[in-house]
A and B are shown apart, each in its own frame.
Chain A
Amino acid sequence: MTYTTVEIWAVIVLVAIGTYLIRFSFIGLIGDRDLPPWVLRHLRYTPVAVLPGLVAPLVIWPDATGGDYDAPRLLAAAVTILLGVVFKNMMLAILGGGTTLFVMLSLMG
């Protein structure tokens, strides 16, 4: 990371203000007016629209291997997603994925 101290603080402050305003929007400013259905329909998918796109390149071209395809990391990713989908439990998925990565790396290392 080549971010300067000032830049890091800028990100923190801007994300904090923006996030607060999003939370405050209807509770504090707009009041109990209904959002149009089409807006709700899009908002529902914001996390699932951003996070997979963010993570996909990290899984397929991991930094640690200089961007080469890497079996332990791919397998760990698959185990994590599978546990999350099946058990709907985030911490279980993290533990399962982390363990898979650790075991695979020590087996292949």
Chain B
Amino acid sequence: MTTTKRAFIRGIRDGLPFIFVVAPFAMLFGVVATETGLSTLQTFIFSLAVIAGAAQFAAVQLMADNAPILIVVATALAVNLRMAMYSASIAPYLRGVPFWKRAAMSYILVDQSYAVGLAKFETTPEMGPSERVAYFTGTMMINMPLWYGGTLVGALVGAQIPPEYALDFAVPITFLALIGPMLKTAAHVMAAFTSIVMALLLGFIPYDLGLMLAAVAAMVVGAQVELMVQRRMA
């Protein structure tokens, strides 16, 4: 077996634990999106084209609220801005990888492939460019089809669920479940707290613009608290 093939299989194996999150999360998105009023096709294409659960949920929630298109798009993209950081930190490991392969890898750069991929690249400096590509692709080989398929199943099921079930709260619970594990440091907690307080206070601003302002304030608070903590440690 070539080292590239071995790296690919290793990637598949290291990506396997994520199937237990990806499948149910995808199904939940399928259900919520169709309950909001998206067609099965729209819901499926959404997952296929975006592959970013939190941003997709955010967009659907704001669409349910009838927020203007620009706000919906801006909020979803704000949730995904973290991926610019992923892109920047993984780029040095992809020197010498052909352009079209880097373009393809960008499509599958998600929280999971980033976490597993970067850890592997950092601990295994002897990996060559083609092995890195193979490994990275491997991590998403099962998770990606599962994300599409899960969304489709959820969308088909969601169309059958009568509205009287308390699905209104599926979205808040999903967001809260996403937020909990993110609260890793004092800076993250303060950013989350700022976001909540500001969003509630600025709720009167039309077009859900208050949320964007709250997010900017929360980012600044997170960054400042991080600096303060660093200074105190130094």
* Inter-chain contacts of B172 with A (CB < 8 A): 55, 58-59, 62, 73, 77
Known contacts: A9-B42, A23-B87, A46-B78. The answer to whether A63 contacts B20 by CB under 8 A is: no
* Inter-chain contacts of A52 with B (CB < 8 A): 179, 192-193, 195-196, 199, 218
Chain B residue with Cβ nearest A109: B166
Q: B42–A54 contact, CB under 8 A?
A: no
Q: B75–A50 contact, CB under 8 A?
A: yes
Query: B73: CB under 8 A from chain A?
Result: yes
Q: Is the interface of A mostly helix, strand, loop or mixed?
A: helix
Point out the residue from A2, A18, A48 that lies within 8 Å of B179, measured CB to CB: A48
Point out the residue from B42, B69, B176, B214 that lies within 8 Å of A84, measured CB to CB: B176
Most chain B C-beta atoms within 10 Å of own C-beta, residue among A11, A16, A77: A11
Chain A 1-23 residues near chain B, CB threshold 8 A: 1-3, 5, 7-16, 18-20, 22-23
Q: B222–A10 contact, CB under 8 A?
A: no
- Size category of the B interface is 35 or more
* Inter-chain contacts of B77 with A (CB < 8 A): 15, 18-19, 22
User: A-B contact count, CB below 8 Å?
Assistant: 290
* Inter-chain contacts of A24 with B (CB < 8 A): 87, 103, 106
Point out the residue from A18, A40, A81, A88 that lies within 8 Å of B176, measured CB to CB: A81
Query: Complex: how many Å from CA A86 to CA B181?
Result: 8
Q: How many residues of A contact B (CB 8 A)?
A: 76
* Inter-chain contacts of B222 with A (CB < 8 A): 41-42, 44-45, 48-49
- What distance in Å separates the Cβ of B89 from its nearest Cβ neighbour in chain A? 8
- What distance in Å separates the Cβ of A31 from its nearest Cβ neighbour in chain B? 6
Point out the residue from B72, B171, B177, B219 that lies within 8 Å of A45, measured CB to CB: B219
Known contacts: A27-B91, A91-B24. The answer to whether A47 contacts B82 by CB under 8 A is: yes
Most chain B C-beta atoms within 10 Å of own C-beta, residue among A31, A32, A50, A105: A50
Point out the residue from B45, B106, B168, B192 that lies within 8 Å of A23, measured CB to CB: B106
Query: B28: CB under 8 A from chain A?
Result: yes
Query: Complex: how many Å from CA A64 to CA B35?
Result: 14
Chain B residue with Cβ nearest A104: B166
Chain A residue with Cβ nearest B53: A90
* Inter-chain contacts of B37 with A (CB < 8 A): 1, 3, 8
Query: B3: CB under 8 A from chain A?
Result: no
Q: A42–B28 contact, CB under 8 A?
A: no
Residues of A within 8 A of B (CB): 1-3, 5, 7-16, 18-20, 22-28, 30-35, 38, 40-60, 62-64, 73, 76-77, 80-86, 88-91, 93-94, 97-98, 101-102, 105
